[in-house]
Structure formats: C-alpha cells, structure tokens
Structure 1
C-alpha cells in the first residue's frame, strides 16, 4: 500500500457558546488516574475507526466532523486547575488540522486501527490544544475510514459509539437538527445541586454498608507488603471458549437471569478459591447510558459500582440469581463523587496495609457483546475447550485486577489483568478454567 499524506484540511469550528465551570464527577474520576499514570497516553486515549459511507467526498467528511465538534462541548473543552479544583473551559471557536492520508489500495480495518494508534502516541495537552484528533483515510480520493483519538478525560466508550452513529447520520442527512440538550457543564451543575448532593449521600451510605457487611479480601495482600502500585503495568491473560457464548445466552434465558450475572457468578466462585473468601466486595463497571438524561450525552461518566458477594459455594444458578439482583441494585449507586468515596474507603478500611483497603482487590467486571477482534480463531476446535491466546495483542494493563468478558453470541472471550505479587498466573489460569467449566456444567 502506497500511502500519500495530502495537505491537511482544517476543522474551523464555531460553537453555540463558550463558557467555563466545574468539572464533572466523571472528569475528576479520570483526572486522578491520569495524574497517577503520567507518560502513558495509551491508557487514557479512546482510539476508534469509523467507516465512511460510500460516495462521500473528503470535504463532506471534514464538514461532518466540524459539525460534531460544534454540537458537542466535550470536543472543544480544555481542562484547567484553579486552586486545586478541576475546571472545564469550553472554547466557542478555534481551528485544528484534520490530516488526510490517501492510498492507491483499499484500507483494511487493521491498517485503519494502526493509524488511530499513531494519533495517540503523543499525550493530549489538556490545558491547551483540542481533546480530539481526526485523520481521514481515503483510497483514490474517496474516504473509507476516519481514524479517531479522543481524550478519555472528556469522553468514554459509550460516548464514542454515539459520536460514530451521529457522524453517519450527518453524512446520510438523517441527523437531528436540534443541539444536544445535556452537556458536561449541565451535568456538573446538577452534581453540585441539592438533588445531586442527595444522590451522592445516598451512594455513600450504600458503599459504607457494603464494605462493612462484606469485609473479606477476594485476593490476598501483596506478598512484598508494598501498597504503592499507581502507574504500574500488570500482565494480561487472554482466552476464548468456542461455543460458550451461545451456551451462556441460552442458559441465561432459561434461568431468567442476565448473561453478565451468570458470568459474574461463575467467576466469583472460581476466584474465591484463590483466597477462600466467602463475603467480599466486588467492583463492577456499569453502563449508565440507560438513564433517560444520558441518551446522546457526550462526556465521561463515573460508572464504577460495588456489590457484595457471599455464599459462593451455593449452586451456580442460585448464586447467579442473587448476583443479578445485586447488579441491579449496585447500578443505582455507580454515579458519585469519587473524592467522597475514597475518603470513605480510607475511613472504613484504615487498618488495612494495602492501598485503598479491600477495594484495591476488586475485580473490575465488564461484560459486552463484541465481535471476534483480537482473539484467536475458534474454527475446528472441539466444544468446551478454553483456548489461551499466547499471542494476544494486549500484553499488559494499568488495571490491577480486571476482568473483561465479551461474546459474539457464539464464542466467549475472556481477558484478565492481574497483580502477580498477589496471585500467580498459573493460579489465575486455573480459575479461568474452573469458571468456564462451571458454566458448561449447567444444561440449558
């Protein structure tokens, strides 16, 4: 493929307003992690590739991207620190380059992803330049992809999905003309309002109750006694189970539970064998985009919640039903002021030696329906095999204990990051095998 970088068009934007105000809970949540992971731009950059509709010109695509920036204040926001407080400053107008790279052969998705990764090599200057970078990838002058890098401080994965859908609607002439009603500054003002503070207080009570009622540690303390792990990278184990995705969906339907609840229960049982814990807190990533006000919202939301897990030796179907109820309840308490929650953790878990007490040993569960992207092939493999992907593209993670489960409705994909100062890789592999065996043991 012969790539030719053409002269860069510019995105000259002029939004409806320029203003400033306090940061949101979601922005402050990410900002704390950004500070702990300086020099690691990959960790906090959302990289995406958006296919361009056929029969559009580069000028069409650039114009649609300009409209996105003008409609959504998050895409033209810089972050300032005022006397220790995070402040978001929305620029009304400005300009930045949108490079175009033309090729004489079609762009593959993999090649487009590499272009998006190149955009994130340099960290964003949050107090200066725009928080978004675009690159149009064309073949013979016709755009095929838009490579995108956006600061995670200002958008999250759900927001990126919404932006892609809106770009397509703009290019197809079906986008709503009305500007989005809810912008990050509106969200920040709600969080500071009496209603927002009341919700935060309710969340703090829920977290306190959960931490007090579920006091055990899912994983043991670090063997070296060192609780300072911010900024570290942790190895990733990746595997896939052919056929198990379909099995889980059918099983969940028969048991009348959600697939995430079923998978969470299976891994809770397996992980408990690492420490013999029977009542412990579990961190969970929720999607708050089901809330009515969040539809079309482009910003970052705090969406990490906590649930309590006990009686892990109960039959899997019973544990899955209880887990499903806990997930529904925990979802209500996943929007909060992180500073208050961390202060609560310090208070409740003050006697523990590890960073943030038992919360440091959360497993960050996330279940998504995803395409088979980045995992090995499952063709020709016997049913019920768990295949470890030794050549996984993601080698390490900033998440100390993280579990991401995905399904394409056929294969179940599993990605785990772990702190090997607490749990060895062989032990974790055995836990993964045990969890998948538990899921296979139930008959739809």
Structure 2
C-alpha cells in the first residue's frame, strides 16, 4: 500500500482567452467523448534527477502549464455537440492551481507504484468541460521524489506536441532555462484556420476525401467475421532490420522516394497482394506540421490522410512512384472539418451500401536524422522479429514506424481474426524482405509471393467483386435477414461498371428506403457484406433462383429501388 497526499502547482502569467476550436481539436474532442479512455489518453513516466524536491516538481509543473495554453484549456458545449462540436468553444484560464498526487512507495517499490499510478490515472476519461487536461503524480521513496507520472489526452496534444511538452519538461526539471515559446497557441491556429485561404484548403480536402471514398474498396482485409469488437486488444509484432535501413537509402537514390513512402508502398503492395485487389487504401496519420511555425506547436494537428496505393504497375518501382504521388496528395488534403467529413462518409456509405472503417493504418513516428543502432549486417536478410504483449488499438491492422535510419524498427498490430499471427508475421517480415530486395533492383510484382510467402486470400464459392469490394453473398443474405423482417432473397446481377449489382427481393411491410436504412444500420462490423443496390418489395418473395427471373427483369427495368 502507498500513502497518497497532494501538493499544489501554481500557474499564471497568461491572459484569459475564449474562442472556437481548431479542426483537429474538434476531431479529437469527439473521440475523447466517445472512445475508451485507454485509446485517447497518453501516459508517461519520467525519472526525476537526484536531489529533486517536491517543491521543485510543483514549480516545474507550474511553469510547464504556464508556457502552454493547451494545458489550461477546457471546452464548453462539447457534450451537447458530440456529433460535431461546431458551436463549442475553448476557454483558456489565465492563472490557477493544479493538484499533484504524491504517492509514497514501499522500500524499493517506486517503479511498480509509478506503473500503478499511471494505469489508474490513464483509465479515467477526462471531463473536458471542467477538468484540467493534465494529471500529475509524483512517486517518492521516503520523502525523496523518484519518478513523475503525466497523463493527458489527444484533445490537448498529438504525439509530436507531446514530444515538445516532454522536451520542455526535461529542460525545466534539469534546471535549464527553456527557450521562449514561439509557436502559436491553439486559439491562434483556430483563428488562422478561418482565413479565406484556409477555408478553401479545407473544402478541397473534403472534395478529395469524397472522390476517394466513392471509388476505393471498403476493406483491404475482407474476411467473414463479426468485427464489432470493443476491447481491441491486439497482438503486436516488433520487426527490425539494419539491412532494410540501408536498402531504403538505395531505393531513395534510385527513385527519389522517401524512406517513409517506401515503407508505406511495401505495406500496401503486400496487403494488396493478399487481398487480390488492384488498389490498397491505407489511412496514414498526418502530422500536418508542414509550416515551420507549427513544428513546436503544442496542440492536436494530426488527422487522417487517405492514401490509395495503386497496384496496377508491373513492378515495385512503379508502386513506389505511385505511392509517393498518392501520399503527397493525401497529406495535402489531411486538414479538414471532421464533422463535415463524417457527413460525407455517411452519404457515400448510403450511396454505395458500404460501411467504412479504419482497416489498415500507417503511423510514421520516426525522427529524420536520428539513426538507431548501426553495425555490420548478419547473414542477409538481416531481419529480427519478436511478439510483444497485447495492447489496445482501434484498428484492424496498423504499422507503427519507430525508426528508419540506421535500423528500420516497426511494430505491426494485427487483429488475429483478420490477420492470424502466422500471416501477420509474414506481412511484417515481408515488408523488410521486399525493401531489402528492392534496394538492389526493381522487383516485379509477380515475384512477391515467392519472396515473402504471401499469397492471395483463397475465396470460395459465393465471393464476388462488387463496386471494387470483395463481398461474400452469404454474408449479404445474413445481413438482410437480420435487418428486415420477412422472407427475402438476394441475387447478384452482372454489371459492366460495378462487376455485380445486388438485387434484394423482399416480402415485408417496408419500403426500399427503409429496408436500405435497416441494412446500413446493421452493416458496421460485417466486413464482407454490403447493403444491396436494389430492393423489390413484392407480395410473395421468390422462393428460389429458378423463379426469380421475372423479378430480376423488373428490377433492371425500373432501375435502383432505394
């Protein structure tokens, strides 16, 4: 057991401010309000320098909060506007106090107690309207502070902003005068986002997203499983290679493609190979710190970039160049009003009958110019992988890039229902194998299976390509049966544009509009099903395919029945 008391950190020196949310704040506020706190909160444990006192910690925390308005910001009106906090405001407190927990550890138990404190503070959702967005605990042995725990949330800072905060903290607690804050504060960014030029860019970003959403496959890892999980505890595979880092330099010299884009291209090529589709859409986390004045900004800027990887090229060099062009376009269109994007996604989902979810996520957290371990290669290919404990992450598959120079160091998160462990290991190591081989030559895409062991997913009878998506006809029929009362039958009809068009015949007290709405409502989590394109409501539904011809002709003659 530990003793718990409190000390007070005092902050001030600012001015009270109030104004609208930034686009990234609005996006993150929505997520903080609805997603599990384990997904939305950061937890950090830092060792304290020798001879640090509790007073030193309190003064350092006070100075840190004083320097960054995001640490003394609350949000008003967000609970009532959780579906789009357009009317919400952020309020910056000029001065105040922050209570710091002080937990006294048993003899030589500071490390364990710090983990317990971090877990406790991390598991609670932040009250964005009333609670300071920073929780701090100090772990002492006797009366000597040993470690400090910080917990904050994604509406306060993204990963880059958090790194800026921690660098500030390290300087302050070490007694080094921190550099003056020159980056804008969140309210300054909110004002800039309302300039005519920024509004035009945000509108262009939404148009880009709508164009891509209307043509990409809804899923890259399409399997017939119920994906409506809530815990998202995923196995993690760490993969490292010095040889791959050297290969990235050779790839860049030959093609002009950056290290990050090359890894993205390799992931897309192999995931697309497994799915057997000519395109692989990947969500990449964009830092959105392209302007120099935003490099040290403490606040959320990161938003999703939608990158469709074109796999119609015959060789990997072609995929590399296509991925570079696609990623540049996607990153340029990664700052947008998230409420408007949600509306667009709902409209496109209704039009196509699909439900979009984060299928494959790419998150490059590497720092250019900061190499890791280097040394002579072992027996090529120099690839080392190891399974890590499961952790929570709301994505089916995600590749986190930790380092790209000196050594490629990545972690692959994979839902075993979509990507079993053996397949996940083949994908993680396959990315390295492909990069190493591509360092010396242009690799043909027909060689990828022999090089990596990854082959197209085998799909049995009843699987169809529908509007660029793999669809399991049996899963569609289950969807309709679960969504609409009364007997029905779903029939695929060849279509020159879509590949197949799905016609649903129903004997039910409903309308095509209501039937489609019911199917869409049941779609989340059904990875291999989409809602039908046409609905024919009849007094007696066809009993089998042999008696459906007349109803099929009627549907094709009358056009869409939604």
Structure 1 117/297 Cα, relative in aligned 2: closer, same or farther at 3 Å? same
Offset at 1:55? 4.9
Name which structure has the greater RCO, CA cutoff 8 Å, separation 6+: 1
Structure 1 residue 7: deviation in Å? 4.0
| 3-state secondary structure, aligned to 1:284 | strand
Answer yes or no: is the 8 Å Cα contact 2:243–2:436 preserved in 1.
Answer: yes
Displacement, 1:385? 6.2
**Residue in 1 that maps onto 2:177:** 174
Q: Distance in 1 between matches of 2:248 and 2:146?
A: 34
**Offset of 1:201 from its aligned partner?**
0.9
Shift of 1:297: 1.6
Matches within 5 A, 1:95-244: 95-101=97-103, 105=108, 112=114, 115-138=117-140, 143-171=145-173, 172-177=175-180, 180=182, 182-212=184-214, 214-221=215-222, 223-224=224-225, 229=228, 231-233=230-232, 235-244=234-243
**Which runs of structure 2 are paired with 1:83-98 in the superposition (5 Å)?**
84=81, 85=85, 86-98=88-100
Map 1:41-440 onto structure 2 (within 5 A): 41-81=37-77, 84=81, 85=85, 86-101=88-103, 105=108, 112=114, 115-138=117-140, 143-171=145-173, 172-177=175-180, 180=182, 182-212=184-214, 214-221=215-222, 223-224=224-225, 229=228, 231-233=230-232, 235-255=234-254, 256-311=256-311, 314-356=314-356, 360=357, 362-369=359-366, 383-384=380-381, 386-390=383-387, 392-407=388-403, 409=405, 411-419=407-415, 422-440=418-436
Query: Secondary structure at 1:345's aligned position in 2?
Result: helix
Q: Which protein shows a greater Rg?
A: 2
1:341 partner SS: helix
State the Cα distance separating 1:149 from its structure 2 match.
0.4
Separation in 2, partners of 1:420, 1:32 = 28
C-alpha separation between the residues in 2 aligned to 1:164 and 1:268?
A: 33
Secondary structure at 1:319's aligned position in 2?
helix
Q: CA deviation at 1:287?
A: 1.8
CA deviation map 1:348-404 (0-9, x unaligned): 443444423xxx25421112338xxxxxxxxx98653655534x1333422233221
Matched position secondary structure for 1:399: coil
Q: Which of residues 9, 23, 28 is equivalent to 1:30?
A: 28
Change (3 A) 1:249 1:62: farther
Alpha-carbon distance, 1:254 to partner:
3.5
SS at match of 1:320: helix
Q: Is the 8 Å Cα contact of residues 71 and 180 (structure 1) preserved in structure 2? A: no
RMSD: 3.3
Q: How far does the alpha carbon of each residue in 1:23-51 deviate from its partner, in whole angstroms, 9 at most, with x for none? A: 221122123323442xx321111111334
How far 1:122 moved relative to its partner? 2.3
Task: Check whether the contact 1:384–1:440 (CA below 8 A) recurs between aligned residues.
Answer: yes
2: CA distance, partners of 1:342 / 1:216: 18
Give the alignment's TM-score, normalised by structure 1: 0.82
Answer yes or no: is the 8 Å Cα contact 2:44–2:150 preserved in 1. Answer: yes
Q: Is the 8 A contact 1:115 1:147 kept in 2?
A: yes
